[in-house]
Structure 1
Amino acid sequence: MTRATRVTDPSYELMDDHEGLSVIYRQHGFPCPLVRWHFHKEYELHLIVASSGKVFVGDYIGNFYPDSLFLTGPNLPHNWISQVEPGEVVDTRDMLVNFTDQLFESGNQVFTELKSLAPLLERAQYGIEFRDPQTIVDARELMEKIAQANGITRLGYFFILMELLAASDDYQLLCADRPKQQAEEHHLDRTNRAVDYIFAHYARELTLEEVSEHVGMKPTYFSRFFKQATGRSFVEFVNRLRVSKSCELLTDASLPVTDICFESGFSNISNFNRRFQQLKGMTPSDYRRLVGQRQTEKNLY
């Protein structure tokens, strides 16, 4: 039985450790205080090194695995929650590279070559997941070099990395809309507690009234508040989380679709099929066949 570690520290993340550096490298494990629903002014290139779980970027909900690579733009809320065994600790889960718009706004005035990265930075406003395996391998090698380097050498590896990502055409944009105006911290606190509670209980019957009571809000107000904060209504958010879980389970060909339906939190198979079709454009069985075909092609490659 897996669980999600509860996350209660929310907010705007103030990175006060720039120390005059244009590019910041960080890495951390799980659980970790940095794992929470948050946003910051920096872009973030985020590579998952170990564990799997759920990724939340703006109004997007999906799955992550080792070697999942994401780029998020400024002020775009995000969080990665690993599904781990009780008491399990992942020593190194994430490799992160952070940088700000200022690096390119100033650099573009001197180095015209940097303007070629503008489309990549524009896409990052919506969140990007990179899909090409070779791009991810090369990106990890460059991130490791960035971690070990200093000064101009680090900056050089960073620009090579950005050029690599800008050239990749195998990616998925994650959010429907660009991030809205920054939320106030107490709103982020309640959003974080709500998302945390939903993540811990979505596999069973879960009502808006239960979650609103958990965060200390009236149901009607919570409904409006939650949609404004996450870009999705409560029901949409829960259904997307459940469909995301079902996609994860459908990769195991031995699990019956009916069992996956109930394990994902749906109460009946017809509702499961309908919601899955709405969000994925195909039936669960078709999705399973597609995943099997892609895995076969990958193995042949």
Structure 2
Amino acid sequence: MTRHSKLSDPSYELMDDHAGLSIIYRQHGFPCPLVRWHFHKEYELHLIIASAGKVFIGDYIGNFTPGSLFLTGPNLPHNWISQVAPDEVVPKRDMLVNFTDQLFESGHQVFAELKRLTPLLERARHGIEFRCRHTIAQAMPLMQRIADHQGIARLGYFLILMELLAGCEDYQLLSGTTAQHLGEEHNIDRTNRAVDYIFAHYGRDLTLEEVAEHLGMKPTYFSRVFKHATGRSFVEFVNRLRISKSCELLADGHKPVTDVCFESGFNNISNFNRRFQQLKGMTPSHYRRLVEQRPG
């Protein structure tokens, strides 16, 4: 069974604890009120310490595991939902740093070296997952030093970490939709609840009408709001979530492809194969062979 968060808090997160500081460091476990489909004006550098699950950034759906490292740009909605046992609590799941454009816009005027970070910050508007194991191995102790220090020392370690990430060439841009294309706060809050419901029920037959009824909305209106807030239609969103789940199952074991199909939420093998080919550019069997051949 999947543990999913009840996402009832406002979707816009106002961080009023800058207190004149350049960056905010936070860490939290799961479940936690901060785990929800939300956005804020700050960038977010986000390191997963424990548990695995699904990541939602803009219109992107993927997987995260311990050691996953992401950078999201201003106002780009995001959420990480752990797949854990019922009533399981993860004491420390996330380490994150938040900062605003103002830090670097003002800093450029004094420290020319900060301009080297501009391409990284531009990429972050689509969301970035860093893939280089060596980079992540260096980033983790730097994040811990940020956690352990205050003042100028904390800022110094943060800038060292940002320079490291700016030089990383093994990364993936995540969302095809940037923040300016996404819906207003009220609609994202409703989409927040829709994503929560979809995540809990995508393993079975799930219709747009059912989710709309759960939210107390008319199906046509819900369809419009959902696409505006996520950048994808309801059917496309659900199919991408199911394909993400199927990739996880194909990589983790030797279940027959037919079993993977039904466990992922598809109701027939031909539709599963067609959707998988569309999104991954290969068959499920080919995907499994590639995963098995990859170096450890």
Cα shift readout 1:121-160 (whole Å, capped 9, x = no counterpart): 0000000000011111111110100111111111111111
1:183 is displaced (CA, Å) by 4.1
Tell me how far apart the structure 2 counterparts of residues 2 and 58 of structure 1 sit (CA, whole Å).
22
* Cα distance between partner residues in 2 of 1:121 and 1:252: 34
Instruction: Quote the residue 2:42 is aligned against.
Output: 42
C-alpha separation in 1, matches of 2:159 and 2:207: 47
Change (3 A) 1:205 1:182: closer
Distance 1:181 1:174 in 2: 15
TM-score by length of 1: 0.96
Count matched residues: 296
1:94 correspondence with 2:94: yes
Q: State the 1:179 CA deviation.
A: 1.1
- The root-mean-square deviation of aligned C-alpha atoms, in Å, is 1.1
8 Å contact from structure 1 (residues 257, 284) kept in 2:
yes
Deviation, 1:191, is 0.7
Q: Output one character per residue of 1:158-214: Cα deviation in whole Å (capped at 9) or x when no partner.
A: 111000000000000001122126744332221111111111000000001001111
CA distance in structure 2 between the aligned counterparts of 1:233 and 1:51, rounded to whole angstroms: 29
Aligned residue in 1 for 2:274: 274
Q: Distance in 1 between matches of 2:125 and 2:137?
A: 24
Residue 5 of structure 2 contacts residue 36 of structure 2 at CA under 8 Å; is this kept in 1? no
Structure 1 equivalent of residue 127 of structure 2: 127
**Could you say which residue in structure 2 is the equivalent of 1:286?**
286
Is 2:139 the counterpart of 1:150? no
Question: Contact 1:6/1:200 (CA < 8 Å) preserved in 2?
Answer: no
Contact 2:184 / 2:229 at 8 angstroms: preserved in 1? no
Partners in 1 of 2:73 and 2:2 — Cα distance? 31
For residue 17 of structure 1, report the CA deviation from its aligned partner: 0.9
TM-score by structure 2 length?
0.97
Q: What residue is the counterpart of 1:21 in the other structure? A: 21
Task: Map residues 235-246 of structure 1 onto 2, 5 A cutoff.
Answer: 235-246=235-246
CA distance in 2, matches of 1:84, 1:22: 35
Return the letter of the residue paired with 1:198: I
Corresponding letter in the other structure for 2:271 = N
Alignment of 1:97-246 (within 5 A): 97-180=97-180, 183-246=183-246
Unpaired runs of 5+ in structure 1? Answer: none
Matched, 1:259 2:259: yes
Q: Aligned equivalents of 2:110 and 2:257: distance in 1?
A: 57
**Counterparts of 1:239 and 1:16 in 2: how far apart (Å)?**
38
Gap runs ≥5 in structure 2: none
Taking structure 1 as reference, are residues 10 and 63 closer, same or farther at Cα in structure 2, changes over 3 Å only? farther
Q: Is the 8 A contact 1:10 1:188 kept in 2?
A: no
Inter-partner Cα distance in structure 1 for 2:194 and 2:252: 30
Q: Where does residue 77 of structure 2 map in the other structure? A: 77
Report the Cα distance in structure 2 between the residues aligned to 1:71 and 1:146, rounded to whole angstroms: 16
Percent identity over paired residues: 77
Q: Aligned partners of 1:167, 1:120: CA distance in 2, in Å?
A: 9
